[in-house]
Chain A
Amino acid sequence: MLFNSYIFVFLYLPLVLLGYYIINYFKQYKISNVFLVIMSLVFYGYFNHSYLLIICGSISINFLISKILQWNSPKVYIKKTVLVFGIFVNVAIIFYFKYYDFFLNNINMLFGKAFELKNNILPLGISFFTFQQISYLIDSYRGETGNYTFDEYAIFVSFFPQLIAGPIVLHNEVIPQFRSKKNRYIIPENFSKGMYLFSLGMFKKVLLADTFGKAATYGFGTIETLSSIEAWIVAWSYTFQLYFDFSGYCDMAIGIGYMFNIILPQNFNSPYKSTSITEFWSRWHMSLTRFLKTYIYIPLGGNRKGKIRTYINILIVYLVSGIWHGANWTFLMWGGGTRDLELLEPAV
Chain B
Amino acid sequence: MFCLSTYNIREEIYQCFDLIEVLFLEENIPFLYYLMSAIKGFNLWIFICGAFFIVTNFRNSKEIEFRPTITKALITIVFMVWSVLSFAEVSTFLYFDF
Contacts and interface: CB of A to CB of B under 8 A. Distances in A.
A165 B96 contact: yes
Contact of A227 (B6, B47, B55, B80): B6
Interface residues of A, number: 67
Contacts of A234: 13
A285 B54 CA distance: 19
Given A251-B61, A273-B56, A196 B51 contact: no
A245 B97 contact: no
B11 to A, nearest CB: 11
B13 A207 contact: no
Question: Sorted from nearest, which 8 A-B pairs have the closest CB atoms?
Answer: A227-B6, A165-B95, A214-B16, A203-B79, A199-B79, A215-B16, A272-B55, A202-B83
Contact of B97 (A6, A249, A326): A326
Nearest to B68: A192
A contact patch SS? helix
Contact of A203 (B5, B19, B72, B83): B83
Given A228-B5, A228-B7, A272-B55, A211 B93 contact: no
Given A125-B96, A165-B98, A251-B61, 9 more contacts: A127-B98, A196-B76, A199-B79, A214-B16, A218-B13, A228-B6, A230-B9, A266-B60, A266-B62
Interface stretch (A24-32, A132-140, A236-244, A310-318): A236-244
Contacts of A236: 48
Nearest to B44: A233
Interface of B: 1-10, 12-13, 16-17, 19, 44, 47-48, 51-52, 55-56, 58-62, 66, 68, 72-73, 75-77, 79-80, 82-84, 86-87, 89-98
A249 B93 contact: yes
A334 to B, nearest CB: 13
Contacts of A245: 93-95
B95 A249 contact: yes
Contact of B68 (A9, A189, A201, A232): A189
Contacts of A272: 55-56
Contacts of A207: 19, 82-83, 86
Contacts of A254: 61-62
A226 to B, nearest CB: 8
A211 B80 CA distance: 17
B2 to A, nearest CB: 8
A74 B45 CA distance: 67
A158 to B, nearest CB: 16
A228 B58 CA distance: 30
Contacts of A213: 91
12 contacts: A4-B87, A164-B96, A206-B83, A211-B17, A232-B4, A240-B48, A240-B51, A240-B55, A245-B95, A266-B60, A270-B60, A273-B56
Nearest to B6: A227
Contacts of B9: 227, 229-230, 233
Contact of B94 (A4, A233, A246, A324): A246
A127 B9 CA distance: 39
Interface string A157-172: 0000000111000000
B3 A270 contact: no
Nearest to B62: A266
